[in-house]
Amino acid sequence: MKRIIFLFTIPVLFFTSCKTLSSTSGSSDNGKIDISFVQINDVYEIAPLSGGKEGGIARVATLKKAWLQKNPNTYMVIAGDFLSPSVYNSLKYGDKAIRGKQMIEALNSAGLDIAMFGNHEFDIKESELQERINESSALWISTNSFHKVKDKAEPFVKQGKGPLPKTYIMNVKDKDGTTARVGIIALTLPFNKADFVSYTDPLQTAKETYNNLKDSVDAVVAITHQSMDADELLAREVPGLAAIIGGHEHDGRSAKIGTVTITKALANAKNAYIVNLQINKKKNSKKVTTIIEPLNEKVALDEATNAVVQKWNKIAEDNYSSLGFDAKAVMINKGEALEGRETEVRTKATNLSRLIIASIKEAVPTADIVVMNGGSIRVDDVMQLPISQYDILRALPFGGAISEADMKGSLVIKMLEAGRKNIGIGGFLHHNENLVFANDTWLLNGQPLDAAKTYHVALPEFLLSGKEANMDFVNSNNVAVVKVYPAPAAKNDSKSDIRLAMVRYLEKNKGQYLK
């Protein structure tokens, strides 16, 4: 088992494989060295999906071990978004909210080496995030995301280790004695406006940091959590980067801009990228090659990591009843599988999104307009029958209440237009089927929406917060919001949790749902 020593200096961190250092005798230095990164990103489930056929942190653990056998200079990297959202985040263990603890334990077992912030890491409370950082055995890097303390931006801190480094340098050595220094930066899109975090501009920070690093290392790699457009711009503006190991999109992407390779794996570890960086010291050159490794039934579950996953599965099952759910109760046992893949629910209506809209309408029968953001659906899976209450929980891990508001038609139209233009991202809006967009006009029951009329709108509470992409104007302070209705007080009220609304809808309709 490879052991990694972290030697902290200011301002960089040295990352050395002792196994490599111990095997240099009797070899001649050829000047070439390979560093392999096992890349995952946007992982919300520790257990396999698709009936156990895809994903799972235990398969990632197996993959890392296999690559370590090929190259002792192999490091597992997660490019953000793994502490949230998760079905576990509404559960408790030992009287404390879990909030990503299950993911940290699983990734620790799997051998995660490097972590960075995605925007969803800031969904959880400040104190909870601090606990997760402290519990993690990985090195966390943060180049442009900082801890806001009394209006002052400071580095986040790991207990016993000090401030998280803005940059980090890997000092590596191979069997024949070739050594190299690889600089790493980690950039997060400034999307989540949590009051305990502040950001510097990712691109400007990247340029400054790269220029500070480039003359003291053999290569610089950026780990990022931002849009593909932003990554491509980064590659054009900082063309000396060796690679961009990215996250944020969930559908698996890659590009090459000039000599810079950009990779993004499928969400929920349905695959992993192997990003191999070869440095030739004699020629003063670098080369990046990539391999996509599917994580399916052909990849065995690592025994130790799977034991951690099973532990947390049992904890979860024991907790669902506290939320008013019977996780094992079957809600749908015939019909079609439910389409919840993000490539689908962020671009068009599916049977799952129609089911959720119908459930909200059932909970708020007086609503004229029902909308929901596609980003609320996080299962990224085709949910096979039978559909249980657990499937509903994992499909909508954020949960949250259903809000009601009276809005002027002008605001409704502006909101719907923003949602329509958000195609491909979480802010894409789903809506009731008697509301359609045709000939550049929004029609309700065949009639154009009236900008001056007031409509009763039902929507997830998150949408009314103004925090959705390109929808900061959808908030209770907007003068076009005529009235916001009180939040439901009773836990058994269907409006108190969108998932409870789905359960109630399916119970009433005896498991029948919209095709």
Which pLDDT value is given to residue 513? Answer: 63
Which pLDDT value is given to residue 11? Answer: 39
> What confidence tier does 87 reach under pLDDT thresholds 50, 70, 90?
confident
Q: Does the pLDDT of residue 18 top 50, yes or no?
A: no
- At residue 353, φ and ψ (nearest 5 deg) are -65, -35
> What confidence tier does 514 reach under pLDDT thresholds 50, 70, 90?
low
Nearest to 83 by CA among 101, 67, 70: 101
* Integer Cα distance of 207 and 480 in angstroms: 42
Which pLDDT value is given to residue 1? Answer: 39
Average pLDDT, the chain: 92
Beta bridge partners of 243: 221, 261
Dump pLDDT digits (tens) for 287-301.
999 999 999 999 999
* Integer Cα distance of 103 and 98 in angstroms: 10
> What confidence tier does 485 reach under pLDDT thresholds 50, 70, 90?
very high
Which pLDDT value is given to residue 510? Answer: 81
Give the percent of the chain with pLDDT over 70: 94
What are the percentages of helix, strand and coil residues in the chain, rounded to 5?
A: 30, 30, 40
Count the alpha carbons within 13 Å of 384 in the hemisphere toward its beta carbon. Answer: 5
Which pLDDT value is given to residue 112? Answer: 98
Domain 4-303, second-level architecture: 4-Layer Sandwich (3.60)
Tokens describing residue 186: 């980690």
SS3 302: coil
More confident residue, 14 or 503: 503
Dump pLDDT digits (tens) for 444-484.
999 999 999 999 999 999 999 998 999 999 999 999 999 99
DSSP strand E in 99-144: where?
A: 112-115, 139-140
> What confidence tier does 20 reach under pLDDT thresholds 50, 70, 90?
very low
Residues in CB range of 484: below 8 A, 6 or more apart: 403, 404, 405, 464, 476
Cα–Cα distances (Å) from 113 to 73, 79, 240, 298, in that order, read 11, 12, 24, 24
Which pLDDT value is given to residue 10? Answer: 34
- At residue 318, φ and ψ (nearest 5 deg) are -75, -15
326-508: in CATH 3.40.190.10: no
Tell me the residue type at 218.
Answer: D
In the predicted model, what is the mean pLDDT of residues 40-51?
Answer: 91
Contact indicator for 13, 213 with CB cutoff of 8 Å: no
Q: Does the pLDDT of residue 14 top 70, yes or no?
A: no
Q: Does the pLDDT of residue 139 top 60, yes or no?
A: yes
Q: Does the pLDDT of residue 515 top 70, yes or no?
A: no
Which pLDDT value is given to residue 145? Answer: 98
> What confidence tier does 89 reach under pLDDT thresholds 50, 70, 90?
confident
Dump pLDDT digits (tens) for 344-372.
999 999 999 999 999 999 999 999 999 99
SS3 169: strand
Count the alpha carbons within 13 Å of 5 in the hemisphere toward its beta carbon. Answer: 10
* Integer Cα distance of 42 and 246 in angstroms: 10
DSSP strand E in 189-306: where?
A: 197-199, 219-225, 243-247, 251-257, 260-266, 271-280, 285-294
Domain definitions of the chain by residue range: 4-303, 326-508
* Integer Cα distance of 155 and 148 in angstroms: 9
* Integer Cα distance of 261 and 491 in angstroms: 49
Q: Does the pLDDT of residue 85 top 90, yes or no?
A: no
In the predicted model, what is the mean pLDDT of residues 510-514?
Answer: 69
- At residue 31, φ and ψ (nearest 5 deg) are 80, 0
Which pLDDT value is given to residue 27? Answer: 58
Dump pLDDT digits (tens) for 188-235.
999 888 999 999 999 999 999 999 999 999 999 999 999 999 999 999
* Integer Cα distance of 139 and 116 in angstroms: 8
Cα–Cα distances (Å) from 290 to 36, 37, 80, 106, 260, in that order, read 9, 10, 20, 25, 12
Which pLDDT value is given to residue 364? Answer: 97
Contact indicator for 8, 140 with CB cutoff of 8 Å: no
> What confidence tier does 2 reach under pLDDT thresholds 50, 70, 90?
very low
